[in-house]
Chain A
Amino acid sequence: MKPAPFKYYVPRSVPEVLSLLNEHGYDAKILAGGQSLVPMMNFRLVQPAVLVDINNIPEMAEIQPHEKGVRLGAMVRHSQAEKDPLIKEKAPLVHETMPKIATVQIRNRGTIGGSLAHADPSAELVVVSTALDARFKIQNLNGERVVPASEFFVGLMVTAMGPEDLLVEVEFPPLPPRSGWSLKEVARRPHDFALVGVAAVVVLDKKDRCKEARLVYLSAGDGPISAPEAAGLLVGEQFTPALATAAAEKASADEIDPGSDIHATADFRRHLANVLTQRALEEAFQRAKGGK
């Protein structure tokens, strides 16, 4: 299991990266953390002719406050995000998600941007960024654009980025007051790809009624799968187990589109989505009521 040959570039700045991407187009792959890419290269399922290593651009690895939220450079590593106090404060769901991603060795190397750009429908960050309505800053030689999560993920491992594009930053907007969140997932072993998972975010009014809700699922289709109708059932309501059940049933029966593999049939995934939604909603409502 040795990778096929490639040409290796180590640009030192974003413009340098962009011109390399422009030059090589589909022949090039960006090497960020490499924790998904390199295994596939070792299996020779991926054989890029050119590898553009973006690990030597320090400004891409910064974490900064941004309009009451937080802004993460694409090259922020998972372990860096896991320990960052600003993320813990401004994006607690992101903070909580980090230890659930793979293993410590992977988190020490894997990057936020790499995970998002890879757009694996089983990746926690893909789902969490969708639930939090994150915004993706993309650059190419022609300039810069910002794409919301709802438009960033367009299909199975496909994003709104073309071969000339570089994801430079992700912004997580702040959660409103009286927000609650939860990420629940089931994996065969804790660090395996989850069989199914759900990120729930709710915002309550003063009477504990849900003002806004979002449910997004992982391993439930070809990308992060939102369940707006199930979320809609929650709006205007206070939490009851029956309400959670109704939303869970709606989402798992009608809104997700999971596949089958050796670990779980689509049926079992729908069942798990149902169970996890109920658990996630209970936790999210609880947290929202807890104030803050």
Chain B
Amino acid sequence: MTYKVIGKRVKRVEDPRLLTGGALFVGDVNLPNMLHAAFVRSDYAHARIISIDTSKAKEIPGVVGVYTAEDMGDAWEPGPPLVSPPPTLENVVFNSRRQVPLVKDKVKHAGEIIAVVVAESRYIAEDAVEEVYVDYEPLPAVVDLEKCLEPGSTLVHEDLDSNLAAHLIQNKGDYEAARQEADLVIKRRFNLDRGAAAAMENRGLVVDWDPKNQHLMVWDATQSPIPIRNGMAARLGLRTHQVRVVAPFVGGGFGPKIMMFYAEEMVLPWLTMKLERPVKWIEDRHENFYATTQEREQIQDVEMALSKDGRILGIKQKIIHDTGAFNPYGLTTPLNTQSHSMGSYDVKNYNSEVTVVFTNKTIVTPVRGAGRPQGIYVVERLLDIACKELALDPREVRRLNFIPPDAFPYDHKIIDQAFTSLVFDSGNYQPAYDLALEKLGYDNFIKEEQPRLRAEGKHVGIGIVPFIETTGVGPYEGARVAIEPSGKVSAATGVGTQGQSHMTSFAQIIAEELGVEVEDVSMVTGDTAEIHWGTGTFASRGAVVAGNAVLAAASDVRLKVIKLASKILETPEDELELDGGLVRVADIPEKSISLGELAVLANPFRGAVEPGTEPGLESTKYFGPEYGATAFGVHGMILEVDSETMMIKIRKYVTVEDCGTMLNPLVVEGQIHGGVSMGIGNCYYEKLHFDENAQLLNASLADYLIPSSMEMPHIEVYHQNTPAPNNKLGTKGVGEAGTIPVPAAFAQALENALPEYELEILETPLSPNRLFELIHKREELT
């Protein structure tokens, strides 16, 4: 389908405000009479609270109150379980344990909240936090993913008889039979460590209870304002119309801003209703490292059975997944890992056991990639090892195993994160892989460049891996589109925006459908006053689920426009077209009426309307996919490593992305660049270091290393378009894609750069120090 506006590199509508400091972020909300909250957080990861002394803190001038769990009374209750385990799977163990607003008796991770101070300024509130004295009985911390399951281990939740949070097995085909036929079976252990999402804006919340209106106004840096509104209303015993949640401009989300009902989101509304004054809390960076959710920590034992020509006969996998101290987000992340552990390959036999454990660490919920990078990492690493063992060209082995284009929709017959069957809707893998090989200059590098550079003493290596990404999952999203009497269009959707350019790309869909300028569409995202139903921005679903809801609503408005215009212009509907803010007769362009005039006519002030019709040129529509859309891509890199200092430099980076229809290629490229940068962080820079007491040893941006402009390579982005068959726009998600394959490609390139050490990289993230150890170990062996 050819579009006029969709697919164009349209400049963003939201930019002028963001560029001039005129965009509202939650930290910018300052209300008269506003109080400031600061939290007393536990230094210990695991400790019983013996007593809390707030008396000294309360005496500080400017302190309005200091509150503990006891003060909350009946309002104290744990957060809601956000995502329940898949109802369709049998024999699932799931022990739901949810985070609490204020700790009552036992601290379960460092940074958990023990008390809250409310004061006239944040400075004073922090003065008071220092004066709250908590007497603890420190307990041994549960840290190790395996040891925590041993009998006699210290328990995070003492009402359970072990630290098992969940257990499930997914099976497809008959792995054991496949193994019997295999020429080669490779088994390895993989260690995948924790990182932080580290959005540049920390979380934050401003709440304002208006007792006269009996209305709670909330500004929240959240990815999911509507569920927050629903949950807050329920917790506070209010009707949903009494709560309005606005997610204004949000400075990056990357997953953790959707962990609905953080402790602070439970405490602050209670405070404003109690004190009848607005209360503000902006998370600081130090808090962010403890209080905002994290991801990626898994140990995996994975076995791959292959024939001697390199065909994958089956995969058997045991995943131990760390969920931290609580598991409000259900099994989303480990299910995603399973969904991606067969990669882009036609794997007939798969057996995967997931064991989720509680530890005394920060809660785990999805972070950009959300379990997917771990799946792609293990399957690609095993294939690389197999190619070495079988002396096969890694490119040929991948070609041999790709799901062929005629096999779609391809049903994996296991359950994905949306609890529906894991079906890959579409795909065309080989051309994308070939394009990436070509753009990366794979042949030339191997034959000429690498030998030449090696002769100069340079250690350069190449890595290239394909990946898939399940995107655009349900349940649904909605959109409301209305033409105003001015002829301009107002629209709203329930997903929040954290930089994804929704205000522009959704406006492009509407502009396309209604024949108006993009600038004339005002798109509201993240305000519960504008739309009642919705879920949020996560799982690379905005462009798919909300995008198609926007299209549905805009199409419906278009029908209304045409119907009304047909009557007024006395022209059959099929002879009308929408362009330039007008409806006109195709063959007689001067015979037209503006959308504004139509909007006025559609909402008569007097007279009788036709019974059964709706006023206005407005429509609210929803879109819920049967199953998700599967994006696909290939990332390749050439890197150089200084084998003495362990410093690396990525010399070339190529991506080929197939996310179906692109709403705005500029935006898609930006999403990929950002994803790759987090991916590179996950390779060599970003690791959260917890010690044996579950103390985080790098809770600052000085020690938690986000890639800067100096570490990032120039990224070449190429596109392929295999439209998603199950949505009208043909879109697939791309928000997380950039992050997913990077560690796998990096490991391959690093091994390739250092052949003399015969490295086998089975972990991520690495670091210069870790690489030094690995090389050193190989040196000792030889």
Cβ proximity bits A250-292 to B, threshold 8 Å, 1 near / 0 not: 0000000000001111001001100110000000000000000
Identify which of residues 20-70 in chain A touch chain B, using a CB-to-CB cut-off of 8 Å: 39, 43-44
Min CB–CB distance A261 → chain B (angstroms):
8
- Is there contact, CB below 8 Å, between B127 and A5? yes
| Residues A188 and B126 in contact, CB atoms below 8 Å apart | no
Q: Contacts A262-B698, A275-B644, A275-B645 given; indicate if A189 touches B711 (C-beta within 8 A).
A: yes
Known: A44-B126, A188-B705, A189-B705. A268 touches B685 (CB 8 A): no
Place the interface of chain B in its size category: 20 to 34
Q: Mark B756-778, 1 if CB is under 8 A from A, else 0.
A: 00000000000111001100000
Contact indicator per residue, chain B 701-742, by CB within 8 Å of chain A (1) or not (0) = 011010110110000000000000000000000000000000
**Chain A residue with minimal CB distance to B700?**
A43
Q: Is B647 an interface residue (CB 8 A)?
A: yes
Interface check A4, CB cutoff 8 A: yes
B775 to nearest A CB, angstroms? 10
A155 at the interface (CB under 8 A from B): no
Most chain A CB within 10 A, of B286, B707, B768, B773, is at B768
User: Secondary structure at chain A's binding surface: helix, strand, loop or mixed?
Assistant: loop
- Taking the complex as formed, is A2 at the interface, i.e. its CB lies under 8 A from any CB of chain B? yes
Known: A1-B284, A44-B126, A275-B644. A192 touches B702 (CB 8 A): yes
How distant is the Cα of A264 from the Cα of B771 in the complex, in angstroms? 11
Contact B769 A265 (CB under 8 A): yes
Q: B697 interface residue, CB < 8 Å from A?
A: yes
Please, which residues of chain A bring their CB within 8 A of the CB of B127?
4-5
Chain B: minimal CB distance from A32 (Å): 20
Given contacts A2-B126, A192-B705, contact A262 B697 (CB under 8 A): yes
B130: which A residues are within 8 A, CB to CB?
4, 44
Q: Known interface pairs A2-B122, A188-B705, A189-B710. Does A195 touch B768 (Cβ–Cβ under 8 Å)?
A: yes
A85 contact set on B, CB distance < 8 A: none
- A62 shortest CB reach to chain B, Å: 32
Known contacts A192-B702, A268-B768; A186 and B645 CB within 8 A of each other: yes
Proximity bits, B662-693, A CB within 8 Å = 1, else 0: 00000000000000000000000100010000
Q: Identify which of residues 101-131 in chain A touch chain B, using a CB-to-CB cut-off of 8 Å.
A: none
Does A12 make an interface contact (CB < 8 A)?
no
Q: Specify which of A3, A39, A193, A268 is in contact with B769 (CB 8 Å cutoff).
A: A268
Q: Which of A44, A191, A263, A264 contacts B708 (CB 8 A)?
A: A191
Task: Give Cα A275 to B645, complex, Å.
Answer: 7
**Per-position contact with B for A176-213: 1 when CB-CB < 8 Å, else 0?**
00000000001011111101000000000000000000
Shortest Cβ distance from B688 into A: residue: A262
Contact B769 A189 (CB under 8 A): no
Expressed in whole angstroms, the minimum distance between the Cβ of B690 and any Cβ of chain A is 10
Q: Considering only CB atoms and an 8 Å cut-off, how many residues of chain A contact the other chain?
A: 25
Distance of A212 from chain B, by nearest CB (Å): 27
Closest to A3 in B: B123
Q: Is A186's CB under 8 angstroms from B123's CB?
A: no
- Please name all residues of chain A whose beta carbon is closer than 8 Å to the beta carbon of B284 when the two chains form the complex: 1
Residue B285, interface by CB 8 Å: yes
Using a CB-CB cutoff of 8 Å, which residues 148-198 of chain A contact chain B?
186, 188-193, 195
Task: Select one of B123, B767, B772 contacting A188, CB under 8 A.
Answer: B767
Nearest residue, chain A, Cβ from B38:
A2
B771's closest neighbor in chain A, by CB? A268
Q: Of all chain B residues, which has the CB nearest A4?
A: B127
Q: Which chain B residues in 35-86 approach chain A with CB under 8 Å?
A: none
In the assembled complex, the Cα of A52 lies from the Cα of B376 at a distance in Å of 56
Known A192-B705, A262-B697: A186·B126 in contact at CB below 8 Å:
no
Q: How far is the CA of A271 from the CA of B702 in the complex (A)?
A: 23
| CB-defined contacts of A3 to chain B, threshold 8 Å | 123
Question: With the chains together, A102 CA to B711 CA distance in Å?
Answer: 15
Residue-by-residue, is B577-607 near A (CB-CB < 8 Å gives 1, otherwise 0)?
Answer: 0000000000000000000000000000000
Q: What chain B residues lie within 8 Å of A39 (beta carbons)?
A: 702
Partner of A264, one of B123, B685, B707, B768: B768
Least CB distance from A219 to B in Å reads: 13
Would you call B708 and A268 a contact (CB within 8 A)? no
Query: Shortest Cβ distance from A106 into chain B, in angstroms?
Result: 12
* A173–B703 CA distance with the chains assembled, in angstroms: 36
Tell me whether A188 and B689 are in contact in the complex, defined as CB-CB below 8 angstroms, given that A2-B122, A272-B645 are known contacts.
no
- Nearest Cβ distance between residue A28 and chain B, in whole angstroms? 20
- What is the bound-complex CA distance between A196 and B638, given in angstroms? 27
User: Would A1 and B286 be within 8 Å (CB), given that A44-B130, A189-B705 are in contact?
Assistant: yes
User: What is the minimal beta-carbon distance from B701 to any residue of chain A, in angstroms?
Assistant: 10
Question: How long is the Cα–Cα vector from A195 to B703 in the complex, in angstroms?
Answer: 12
Cα distance A186–B646 in the bound complex, in angstroms: 9
Residue of B nearest to A263 (CB): B769
Residues of B within 8 A of A5 (CB): 123, 127
CA distance A268 to B127 in the complex (A): 41
Q: How far, in whole Å, are A99 and B238 apart by their CA atoms in the complex?
A: 58
Q: A2-B123, A44-B130, A268-B772 are in contact. Are A188 and B685 (CB under 8 A)?
A: yes
- Shortest Cβ distance from B689 into A: residue: A262
Whole-angstrom distance between the alpha carbons of A146 and B619 in the complex?
81
Query: Across the two chains, which residue of chain A brings its CB closest to B645?
Result: A186
Cβ-closest chain B residue relative to A39: B702
Interface flags, B635-671, vs A, CB<8A=1, else 0: 0000000001101000000000000000000000000
Q: Which 9 A-B pairs have the closest CB atoms?
A: A1-B284, A275-B644, A2-B123, A262-B689, A264-B769, A268-B769, A268-B772, A186-B645, A2-B126
A–B pairs, 20, beta carbons within 8 Å: A1-B126, A1-B286, A2-B122, A2-B126, A3-B123, A4-B130, A39-B702, A188-B767, A189-B685, A189-B707, A189-B711, A190-B708, A190-B710, A262-B697, A262-B698, A262-B703, A268-B768, A268-B769, A272-B645, A276-B645
Having A189-B708, A262-B703, one finds 20 other A-B pairs with CB under 8 Å, namely A1-B126, A1-B286, A2-B123, A2-B126, A39-B702, A186-B645, A188-B705, A189-B707, A189-B711, A190-B710, A191-B708, A193-B702, A195-B768, A262-B689, A262-B697, A263-B767, A264-B768, A268-B769, A268-B773, A275-B645
Interface positions of A (Cβ within 8 A of B):
1-5, 39, 43-44, 186, 188-193, 195, 262-265, 268, 271-272, 275-276
